[in-house]
């Protein structure tokens, strides 16, 4: 009997195949002896608290979707962290001089083995839960890398969630789809799925654990569900739909290099979001009309010191060249808070997303910003360069940034450097305050690019990294759409363009709504360019405007999605 698990749609497409659970192999504890029992006890306590918080978030996030038994799995795992018998065994090991990781794993394994030996199958199954929770704690204690062996045939990858360090170790040729317990549409597994062009369903909850390795599943990344052990007729229909989807995608790719125009002749730019040289090559190859968002963080992260000006010039020039003369929107460094840099000491913050990030951090480190702007202006000579500032919240900030920028430009000119002629300066609209006051930003910018990932998290008060609130953070929420409309309405007739560069821009259901609201540029994951262009070509501007008007009047994101699904072009 087939059964259906409901999650959130995170990457469109249809796939059927066997499940392969992405399991984190037990990290190897290399430190066997502890220096001091009290220190080891504290380390273990911290790791247990982190594991408990993760479990609580998973449970809370899925509360209304889970059966009582499923909720109980997480509850039981959390209780295991405090199991008196287990902790007594840990304590004995610590007192004997073991390290936190050695004490913990020895006790966990003994506890799991005890359960596995019981005759009742229910308790035998709990042994897996004990090992799972043991693993979770050990991960926090060691952070050690894991070994991963994928099967040699294509599989549907199931996981609680995937970290970027883990996704890079998967062989993309053997991934048919992703299905995850936690995460949201802007989580890493979802972003990777869209990049690979495979379907993904996320935030399914603990029910996913009832699906065993090798079980046949049917994944519908548009509807956001997974059918477990589908009957042959369902598989046949899914395969037929998959063939249509792949064919439409191939057709879209064949004309991806042509501009995207609505049926009534309105041109919409479809650019790409790029975070590496490889992404830029892919964007060009997939027919992007330019780069709508270059995330420059890749140049700054994972290193001991900031890049030199010369280094930056070389990278920007290579990227501009790779795009063959198409416009490139470069965002200045957007780190801070949740993405610290080792060479920029920052005090820890209770709420990093509401803290010193983006341009707030740049203002504290003007040397770094100056170096980046100088590098951009030097690299941009002869290219259509656009410079964009992230996380602008107030008019005072843009005024400061603009003045700072003009000083850098004047200094370069005074040194006798040539300057780019085809240059624009703009801001990302990611904070509701900036969206609501667009008209006051107009004198300082040439364009606005709406970052719906952050704009949605700030509008709905839903942390984009917290799977427990992923269901709340849908960029098609009418509150977000009204903010977008506010930006486009203020910019209309001023000659300044408005784009969207959050993940929403690549969501095919959102495309007609966004263009109907007056958005002129969509910047999307490179692999999405062909399908986004194909979607634009199916709509007339008149129909898209009517749809957007209706969308603005809805009460929630689900209602907007229904409206789009039922729309007649």
Q: How far from the centroid of its chain's Cα atoms is residue 169's Cα?
A: 17
Residue/partner pairs of 189-195 with CB below 8 Å, 24 or more apart: 189/10, 189/159, 189/161, 189/162, 190/10, 190/11, 190/503, 191/503, 191/525, 192/162, 192/167, 193/10, 193/11, 193/221, 194/10, 194/11, 194/503, 194/506, 194/525, 194/527, 194/528, 195/525, 195/526, 195/527
Asked if 503 is part of the footprint of Mg ion (rule: CB under 5 A), the reply reads: no
453 lines the binding site for ligand PEP (CB under 6 A) = yes
User: Site mask, ligand PEP, residues 466-505, x = CB under 6 A?
Assistant: -----------------------------------xx---
How many chain residues bind ligand PEP (CB under 6 A)? 10
Residue 161 in the binding site for Mg ion (CB under 5 A): no
Give the three-state DSSP class for 158.
strand
Q: Is 482 annotated as a binding residue?
A: no
Provide the annotated active-site residues. Answer: 188, 501
Closer by beta carbon to ligand PEP, 220 or else 430? 430
Closer to Mg ion by CB, 454 or 503: give it: 454
Q: Is 451 in the site for Mg ion (CB under 5 A)?
A: yes
CA atoms of 268 and 248, how far apart (whole Å): 20
Q: Are strands 521-524 and 267-274 parallel, antiparallel or unpaired?
A: parallel
Spatial separation of the C-alpha atoms in residues 296 and 331, rounded to whole Å: 6
User: Using an 8 Å Cβ cutoff, are 95 and 37 in contact?
Assistant: yes
Task: Select the binding partner of residue 295 from Mg ion, ligand PEP, none (C-beta < 5 to 8 A, by kind).
Answer: ligand PEP
- Give the residue with the Cβ less far from ligand PEP, 81 or 288: 288
Distance separating the N- and C-terminal Cα atoms of the chain: 38
Q: Residue 417: left if φ>0, alpha if ψ -120 to 50, beta else—which one? A: beta
Interaction residues for ligand PEP, span 514-543 (CB under 6 A): none
**If you compute the radius of gyration of the chain from its CA atoms, what whole number of angstroms results?**
25
Answer yes or no: is 453 a known binding residue: yes
Among 380, 451, 471, 512, binds ligand PEP (CB under 6 A): 451
CB of 511 vs ligand PEP, minimal distance in Å: 16
- Binding segment for Mg ion (CB under 5 A), chosen from 213-221, 397-405, 445-453, 475-483, is 445-453
Which of 70, 207, 397, 454 is in the footprint of Mg ion by CB under 5 A?
454
Task: Say whether 295 counts as a known binding-site residue.
Answer: yes
Q: For ligand PEP, which residue has the nearest CB?
A: 451
How far is the C-alpha of 377 from the C-alpha of 138, rounded, in Å? Answer: 47
Reported as half-sphere exposure (CB side, CA atoms, 13 A), residue 62 has a value of 35
502 contact choice in ligand PEP, Mg ion, none (CB below 5 to 8 Å, kind-dependent): ligand PEP
How many CB atoms within 10 Å of residue 491?
21
Largest CA distance in the chain: 83
Q: Please choose which of ligand PEP, Mg ion, none residue 501 contacts, taking the beta carbon within 5 to 8 angstroms, the exact cut-off set by kind.
A: ligand PEP
Q: Given the complex with ligand PEP, which of 259 and 275 has the nearer CB atom?
A: 275
Could you tell me which of 44, 45, 25, 46 has the C-alpha nearest to residue 132? 25
Within residues 294-313, the interface with ligand PEP by CB under 6 A covers 295
Scored b (16 or more CB within 10 A) or e, 341-356 reads beebebeeeeebbebb
Partner in contact with 166, chosen from ligand PEP, Mg ion, none, beta carbon below 5 to 8 Å by kind: none
Q: How far is the CB of 29 from Mg ion (least distance, A)?
A: 37
Q: Does the annotation place 236 within a ligand binding site?
A: no
Q: Which residue has the tokens 């305050």?
A: 433
Closer to Mg ion by CB, 135 or 273: give it.
Answer: 273
Residue 267 marked in a binding site: no
Binding mask 428-447 for ligand PEP (x = CB under 6 A): --x-----------------
The reply to whether 331 sits in an annotated binding site is: yes
Which residue spans within 267-384 are E strands per DSSP?
Answer: 267-274, 291-295, 328-331
Binding region for Mg ion (CB under 5 A): 430, 451, 454
Binding region for ligand PEP (CB under 6 A): 293, 295, 334, 430, 451-454, 501-502
Positions at the binding site? 295, 331, 430, 453-454, 464
Positions at the binding site for Mg(2+)? 430, 454
């Amino acid at each position: 009997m087939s059964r259906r698990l409901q999650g959130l749609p995170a990457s469109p497409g249809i796939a059927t195949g066997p499940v392969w659970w992405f399991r984190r192999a037990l990290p190897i504890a290399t430190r066997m002896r502890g220096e001091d029992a009290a220190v080891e006890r504290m380390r273990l306590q911290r790791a247990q608290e982190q594991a408990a918080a993760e479990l609580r978030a998973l449970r809370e996030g899925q509360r209304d979707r889970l059966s009582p038994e499923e909720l109980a799995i997480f509850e039981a795992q959390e209780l295991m962290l405090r199991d008196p018998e287990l902790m007594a065994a840990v304590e004995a090991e610590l007192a004997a001089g073991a390290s936190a990781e050695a004490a913990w794993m020895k006790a966990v394994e003994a506890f799991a083995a005890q359960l596995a030996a019981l005759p009742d199958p229910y308790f035998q199954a709990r042994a897996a839960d004990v090992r799972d929770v043991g693993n979770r704690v050990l991960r926090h204690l060691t952070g050690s890398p894991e070994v991963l062996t994928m099967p040699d045939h294509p599989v549907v990858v199931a996981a609680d969630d995937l970290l970027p360090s883990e996704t890079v170790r998967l062989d993309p040729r053997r991934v048919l789809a992703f299905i995850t317990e936690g995460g949201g549409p802007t989580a890493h597994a979802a972003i990777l799925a869209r990049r690979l062009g495979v379907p993904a369903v996320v935030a399914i909850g603990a029910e996913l654990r009832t699906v065993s390795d090798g079980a046949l599943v049917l994944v519908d990344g548009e509807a956001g569900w997974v059918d477990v052990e589908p009957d042959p007729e369902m598989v046949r229909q899914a395969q037929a739909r998959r063939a249509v989807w792949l064919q439409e995608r191939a057709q879209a790719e064949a004309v991806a290099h042509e501009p995207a125009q609505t049926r009534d002749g309105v041109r919409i730019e479809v650019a790409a979001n790029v975070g590496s040289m490889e992404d830029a090559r892919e964007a060009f190859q997939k027919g992007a009309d330019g780069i709508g968002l270059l995330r420059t963080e890749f140049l700054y992260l994972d290193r001991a010191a900031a890049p030199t000006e010369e280094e930056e010039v070389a990278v920007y020039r290579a990227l501009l060249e790779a795009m063959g003369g198409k416009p490139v929107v470069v965002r200045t460094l957007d780190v801070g808070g949740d993405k610290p840099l080792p060479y920029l000491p920052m005090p820890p913050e209770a709420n990093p997303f509401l803290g010193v990030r983006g341009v707030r951090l740049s203002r504290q480190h003007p040397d770094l910003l100056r170096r980046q702007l100088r590098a951009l202006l030097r690299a941009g000579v002869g290219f259509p360069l656009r410079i964009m500032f992230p996380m602008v919240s107030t008019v005072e900030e843009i005024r400061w940034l603009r003045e700072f920028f003009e000083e850098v430009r004047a200094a370069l000119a005074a040194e006798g450097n040539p300057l780019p002629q085809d240059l624009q300066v703009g801001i990302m609209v990611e904070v509701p305050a900036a969206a609501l006051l667009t008209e006051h930003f107009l004198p300082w910018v040439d364009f606005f690019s709406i970052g719906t990932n952050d704009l949605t998290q700030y509008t709905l008060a839903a942390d984009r990294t917290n799977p427990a609130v992923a269901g709340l953070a849908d960029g098609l929420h009418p509150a977000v759409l009204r903010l977008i409309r506010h930006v486009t309405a203020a910019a209309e007739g001023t000659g300044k363009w408005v784009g969207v560069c959050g993940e929403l821009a690549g969501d095919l259901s959102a495309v007609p709504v966004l263009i109907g609201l007056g958005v002129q540029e969509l910047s999307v994951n490179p692999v999405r360019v062909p399908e986004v262009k194909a979607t634009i070509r199916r709509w007339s501007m008149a129909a898209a405007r009517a749809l957007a008007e209706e969308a603005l009047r809805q009460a929630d994101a689900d209602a907007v999605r229904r409206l789009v699904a039922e729309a007649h072009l």
